[in-house]
A and B are shown apart, each in its own frame.
Chain A
Amino acid sequence: MNVKSAEHDEHAAGFVRRYIFSVDHKVIAKQYMALSAVMALIGGGSSYLIRWQLAWPETSIPGWGPIGPDNYNALITLHGTVMVFFVAMPFLLGGFGNYLIPLMVGADDMAFPRLNAMSFWTLFAASAVLIASFFVPNGPAAAGWTSYVPLSDKAVYTGVTWGQNLWILAVALEFASFLMGGVNFLVTGLNLRARGLTLMRLPMLVWMEMTAAVVFLLSVGPLVAGAIMLLLDRVAGTSFFQPDRGGDPILWEHLFWFFGHPEVYVVALPGFGIILEVIPVFTRKPIFGYSMIVYSTLAAGLLSFIVWAHHMFVSGMDPRLASPFSITTIMISVPFAIIVFAMIASLWKGAINLASPMLFALGGLATFIIGGVTGIFLGSAASDIYMHGTYFVVAHFHYTLFPVLFFGGFAGMYFWFPKMFGRMMNEALGKIHFWVSFIAFNGVFIPLFLVGIGGSPRRIYELSSYEMLKPLQPFHVIATVFAIILLLGQIPFIVNFFYSMVRGPVAEKNPWHANTLEWTVSSPPKHPNFSPPPRVYRDPYEYSVPGAAHDWIAQNELDQQGAQAAGR
């Protein structure tokens, strides 16, 4: 199926083919975003219940009622699974990747439009299976988002039977979905580039999405193997992970984290990509060190495969593994430090415009630095052994994923909303959304760093029953109050989003005066995206070039001398 005939189908077809089972990458991208928004409500709602229980244990939660220890385990499992697999990946990869890769490389659609649609609907099925697991006898999976054995391996430990099997099925379907999507990203980015758009002229986001796709494709295999083994243990009587019958429970952790750590970068890189797209537009100067960022990204992708055991310093694995994995983990902070320093240097002496997309990009940068620095504590085995089982890890994790998913994601949302919906968003509401979220986010997780250092263990239902933890309880209350503010802080965005979609001022083609190809087509782009196909003459971030007519030069803009050389 080539792109042209897919488009032809699209035009001939009716409502269902055009809006539901569409093969247009722009429609599929919005479907991904809508799905991730619904799942974010579930994931966010679960965090409300979790936080309430931790602050005021065993009280009746307003709007819900009391939760018991079993439900608490199910809720933290749900929160992690949903947020990583069904919110972060669909939003940052499925949504932004699908919408922007074809537009940024000057293509009319993805390389395989039907595969793209199949990828989304597979994810839809995965979400349905995950939600269905809440309504089976003996309840949903309750072994954590990492599904550590033996908890997940034998029904006797959690009392969960079909819920855990359905969890495995849902996650397996999600992997299948993103395998299809990842192949599409790569082939589109490599093969459908406009003439003149060499690899080193690709917008940063395309590099990041493509690297994320490769990292995902090559890391997920061992967990697929592990999931098959876990499922066989549960339904076919095998004993891969059961020590009493010759199995090895630590094996699951190896297989999980071989995927699980690269997965962090699968989510983080697209978030960085968005931040790197936003910064040059709102500083009016080129990205600092484009090629260094590209090489650092590739180096980080490579290194991400040999750091996984830093999640396992306390698992009981051979302690001789601790030093090598500490070293590789500290090493991987180098390419990320380069990327972060490049972002900071890109701000230097720029004409910074603190519009909503830029605020979110800067918020992401600021909070990610905290996440990165606290990662050093956990990457080094000596300090990790003390902190691993505590809330310090919870806080660190949220300080790495929240910057890319939330701040990066919303930076992208405010930035590309005019392109997606043809209207501008309200700036005042955007700023309220940012400041409330930024303050509340730090208000939730800085206290959690403190309780972590204080020794408060994570994965515990009722902390206040431990005498030694009682002095730390006020910090949990502070975190919960801010968590509720953070959740309520999303209301301005929801209002802004739907209001702007119908009533916002109409957006022109290029409202931010940006250079990349998606801003050279109408808002929203027509079908097909480009007619005729664009030709690229420039790097993506040529802002404030001395002697130019504007402070921006679109990638497909040909200047006088260039035109002469081309003989036009």
Chain B
Amino acid sequence: MSATADVTRTILPENDSIHEIAPGKIAIWWFLASEIMVFGALMGVFVLFSFSHDFAADGAHVKWRLGAFNTLVLVTSSLTMIMALASARKHNLTQTRMFLLATVLLGFVFLGVKGFEYTTEIREGFTPATGMFWSFYFGMTGLHGLHVIGGIVVNLVLLVAALSRKPWDFLERRIEFAGLYWHFVDVVWIFLFPLLYLT
């Protein structure tokens, strides 16, 4: 790249190896990276505030048993998601559908339990306006809940695709990408649970 570059050139390198990664996969990883910054900022602020605020007193009122149950539900759904991918790679249509359905149902169970928690807490008088802990609690679990809803919608679309027998390469790739997202939602909860329920 100098001004005196020789006019003659030999054939030069082929492209870099990144070409072998599916575009969708690079895209989903970048999307998740930006999501990490959103949740990371919220959790970081929560941790910083915990030094100057008494979160433990308010934190004693959350239903940690329900939270622990929901953790189990979400981790199991991550398992069924990866089983769906494994089944798709083996081209086993029945199992693929079954595991996708299980993932969707577990997502609904999670939301149901969370909804029950919200209702009880609000009835006990704990709303987002009650105090700083509850602001974070409702803000962070609410945003996470929206992500769960998004994941359920994506998995439902994939379930319909599996029911209508879309080609395997279509299903495999999309189940893998949706799985990456679903595991991310799971991992966020793994951080939220100790932060909010075990303060």
Contacts and interface: CB of A to CB of B under 8 A. Distances in A.
Interface of A: 111-112, 179, 182-184, 186-187, 190-193, 195-199, 214, 217-222, 224-226, 228-229, 232, 236-240, 245-248, 251, 255, 258, 285-287, 290-291, 537-539, 541-542, 544-548, 553, 558-562, 565-566
A545 to B, nearest CB: 5
Interface stretch (B22-30, B76-84, B101-109, B148-156): B22-30
Interface string B49-73: 1000100000000000000000000
A469 B49 CA distance: 42
A179 B34 contact: yes
Contacts of B7: 545-548, 553, 559
A225 to B, nearest CB: 4
Interface of B: 1-16, 18-19, 21, 23, 26-27, 30-31, 33-42, 45, 49, 53, 127-129, 131-132, 135, 138-139, 143
Contacts of A287: 1
Contacts of A224: 37-38, 41
B3 A198 contact: no
Contacts of B45: 225, 240, 251, 255
A221 B37 contact: yes
Contacts of A221: 34-41
Contact of B5 (A217, A239, A539): A539
Contacts of B131: 245-246
Contact of B21 (A191, A291, A562): A191
B1 A232 contact: no
B26 A546 contact: no
B129 A237 contact: yes
Contact of A198 (B15, B21, B132): B15
15 contacts: A112-B23, A184-B27, A190-B18, A191-B19, A196-B15, A218-B34, A221-B37, A221-B40, A222-B37, A225-B38, A236-B128, A251-B45, A291-B1, A559-B7, A565-B10
Given A193-B15, A221-B38, 7 more contacts: A198-B16, A221-B37, A226-B41, A240-B135, A245-B132, A539-B1, A546-B7
Contact of A561 (B9, B12, B34, B42): B9
A559 B129 CA distance: 72
Given A112-B23, A546-B4, A538 B30 contact: no
Contacts of B27: 111-112, 183-184, 186-187
Contacts of A565: 10-11
B139 A544 contact: no
Contact of A538 (B9, B35, B42): B9
B30 A186 contact: yes
Nearest to A568: B11
A285 B138 CA distance: 60
Given A195-B15, A225-B41, A187 B23 contact: yes
A220 B30 CA distance: 13
A221 B39 CA distance: 8
A226 B44 CA distance: 12
Contact of B129 (A217, A220, A238): A238
Contact of A562 (B4, B10, B15): B10
Contacts of B19: 191, 193
Contacts of A195: 14-15
B31 A179 contact: yes
A255 B128 CA distance: 21
Contact of B2 (A184, A286, A548): A286
Contacts of A542: 5
Given A179-B34, A191-B23, A559 B139 contact: no
Contacts of B14: 195-196
Contacts of B31: 179, 183
B17 to A, nearest CB: 11
